[in-house]
Copies of this chain bind each other. A is one copy, B any other.
């Protein structure tokens, strides 16, 4: 369940587009941008409502809403609002492209691609691949090959190419058999073998959960523990994210938020991404996982504590929290 709060009565897309337009500086002479109005509209609309608002805006003013948001807003707040306003497939295609075009390809960055491939529905993943082609003049796979080195390249290409069966159908004999194949790979420390990659990139999510369960029952340790024991390289870190995104995406995203807010400084890109991509999907569960991990504090508290201003207000809105209580 998502944390996004959509009011019972929602204005028409045209009314919302007009509210946004009026909130921009220059509409009322001498007034600045009304960020609160932007948050109160966009922060309480789901993806299909936002899409209609963008269409209405374009029809009314012959301008792209995203372009206008870009000139009105700045900093982490601006980036977050714009990310939230893209259609989800375009948003994820842009996130993947940004990661691939960055100079550093560490786990923190490449895990974005794993999230898109393993913590999304098959139809969403296909829509991201379509959006990627439309936006960037090549396929997502081609850019992964161009920018990421082996063996992680091979894992990512297989994962983004998947189109998993999406119903709850589990064959327990397959789970047992494939748990033993996966165990053989971790035992031999051969994490880039074809068999492991094929299992992780073709089986349905429910089947894989059962396989991971068998793995733990039959071999004593969970597969992500055994992967961690194979080494501390990028391949190991990425495969651990793969297992988490398949087995329990809410645990993965709670971890992303924890890592991005723990200690000194904040990783705003990761924080925004985790909240924006999951606010309409499973943020309630992410919050529960966060509390299990941290015991003494809530996710809302951690986010409020690490952010400020309109950025904080916007994230709090997406988290379904009352900003004033923090």
Chain A positions within 8 Å of B, measured between CB atoms, are 122-123, 126, 129-130, 133, 137-142, 145, 154, 157-158, 161-167, 169, 194, 198, 202-204
Inter-chain contact B198/A129, CB cutoff 8 Å: no
| A138-B169 contact in complex given A126-B126, A129-B163, A161-B162, C-beta closer than 8 Å | yes
Inter-chain contact A163/B138, CB cutoff 8 Å: no
Inter-chain contact B163/A204, CB cutoff 8 Å: no
Q: List the number of copies, as a whole number.
A: 2
User: How would you classify the secondary structure of chain A's contact residues: helix, strand, loop or mixed?
Assistant: helix
| A145-B194 contact in complex given A163-B130, A165-B133, A165-B139, C-beta closer than 8 Å | no
| A165-B194 contact in complex given A157-B202, A202-B145, C-beta closer than 8 Å | no
Inter-chain contact A142/B194, CB cutoff 8 Å: no
Question: Which 4 residue pairs of A and B lie closest in terms of their CB atoms, listed nearest first?
Answer: A161-B161, A141-B202, A129-B163, A139-B165
**What chain B residues lie within 8 Å of A142 (beta carbons)?**
165, 202-203
**What chain B residues lie within 8 Å of A158 (beta carbons)?**
161
| A204-B139 contact in complex given A145-B198, A194-B154, A198-B145, C-beta closer than 8 Å | yes
